[in-house]
Amino acid sequence: MESLRELTKNHVLGNPIRLGVMLYLLPREKALFKELLEVLEITPGNLDSHLKALEREGYVELYKVFADRPRTAVKITEKGADETAKYLKALKSVLEGIE
């Protein structure tokens, strides 16, 4: 039951798009905005609002990289990695209880 409470308390990762962003970033640590758009298949405005929510909670940092032109990049924070791992552990525990 404790694991289920952990899942329902996390309003940030309870959103499938935000969870998708974090799952993509976890093994990579960073990604370009455009890369996330392609992987998640959502609109730029939708991704932007979810990234801002993740940034507000301290899960990611947004920054600019300069190649041919400025591009937005996203980096997972230590808090973001820890909270995502904790969320996945709780999810695994709940799923194991169902089997």
- The whole domain housing 49 covers 2-98
The CA distances from residue 26 to 2, 5, 74, 96, 99, in Å, are 24, 23, 11, 23, 27
The pLDDT of 51-66, averaged and rounded, is: 96
What band does 84 get if pLDDT is binned at 50, 70 and 90?
very high
Weakest mean pLDDT among 65-74, 75-84, 89-98? 89-98
The closest of 1, 2, 25 to 13, measured between CA atoms, is 25
What is the reported pTM? 0.89
CATH number at residue 61: 1.10.10.10
Q: What's the total number of domains in the chain?
A: 1
Does the pLDDT value for residue 67 go beyond 70? Answer: yes
Q: Are 73 and 31 in contact (CB under 8 A)?
A: yes
